Amino acid sequence: MLIAALRDLQWRKRRFVIAIVGTGLVFAMTLVLTGLANGFRVEATRTVDSLGLDNYLTKAGAAGPFLGSSPFSAAEIGQVSQLSGVETAVTLVYGSSTMPSNGTTGNVNVFGAPESGPGMPKMSSGRAPSSPDEIAVSSTMNKSLDQDIEIGSRTLKIVGIVHDSTALAGQPNVFVTVTGAQQLLYSGQQLISSIGLRGALAHVPDGFNLVSKSGGMEDLLRALSGARKAIALMAELLWVVAALIVGSMIYVSALERTRDFAVFKAVGVPTRSILAGLILQAVIVAILAAALGAGLSVLLGPLFPMRCDIPQAAFVALPVVAVLIGLLASVAGLRRAVTVDPAMAFGGP
């Protein structure tokens, strides 16, 4: 039966190749969607990790130190720095601004932090900004050192480059001093978004919330929750499409092999052997499609304007899911095979 199944694959190779290519494209898009959804988290994780802080203090009622922040007076840093367990406390400013680019206007994520303290990431080239009119930008902006750049209503000089620093689906991060961020976002008012901490805070002062590093990551992802759910739903639908492609191909093949199945039954071939042949065909198609999909996803991912980080676990899970899809698809052909009357083997053409 296994040899017969392989011969059938050879005989109908054109149809099977079309099914492999179609299913492979579906698998590739599924992996790309998984990479896009994972890219949101990778961005947030890398951005928050680069700040080098353990926790954040926000005003009570604020959802987080970034998107969910509520500005408060910078003077409150004094009482926080004296609290037990605090090793370092720094003022932080976060907000969004605009930047003209190629005749259009794009958004950038503005981070304000002290020049030498935590909160300012390491520079891949240049140095951290030390005055309000200086800025460090993400390498994804393709800017060079000493170049002037317009952010919001201000023109700043680039003194540092941060490697591949983005958030919120590919928006570049820029870093300025706290004073520079206040001038850019708060019209110079002495307001901050949060207080970044190093160390284990013994107790949270009244009127504040303590947000962990993981909480900061979730805060950066807050605006993308709808997009992440939509992408996850699309990925699930694509798995169904892949199963339907393989299943329809196996079912059509089973319809054309009705006389073969009748002969097999007439000579005493058990149903489980017929099922094994159908499973072999479906699994071969699914595995080859998974291999093709994995290769295509690597090529297609960089073409998207957002970060596409396909996790290694997705590549490992793909062949497993492909085999399960193959097993599910073979059921459609089996239902046709088991209903074949062995008497058809002795009928006319």
pLDDT of residue 259: 64
- Name residue 90's beta-bridge partners: 196
Question: How far is 102 from 34, CA to CA, in rounded Å?
Answer: 30
Using one digit for the tens of pLDDT, what is the confidence trace for 157-192? Answer: 999 999 999 999 889 999 999 999 999 999 899 999
Q: What mean pLDDT comes out for the span 312-334?
A: 79
25-29, 46-50, 88-92, 202-206 — which is least confidently predicted?
202-206
pLDDT for 95:
93
- Where exactly are the structural domains of the chain? 2-42+226-346, 55-199
pLDDT at 285 (0 to 100): 81
Please give the single-letter amino acid code of residue 48: V
Cα–Cα distance for residue pair 65/203, rounded to 1 Å? 18
The CA-CA-CA angle for residues 184, 187, 193, to 5°, reads: 70
CA dihedral for 204, 208, 212, 215, sign (positive or negative): positive
pLDDT in tens, 47-77: 999 999 999 999 988 989 999 889 998 888 8
Q: In whole angstroms, give the CA distance from residue 40 to residue 27.
A: 21
Asked whether 227 and 54 are in contact (CB, 8 A), the reply is: no
pTM of the predicted protein model: 0.80
Region of residue 170 (phi > 0: left; psi between -120 and 50: alpha; otherwise: beta): left
Cα angle 73-74-77, degrees, rounded to a multiple of 5 = 120
- Phi, psi at residue 291, to the nearest 5°? -65, -45
Query: What are the φ and ψ backbone dihedral angles of 150, each rounded to 5 degrees?
Result: -100, 120
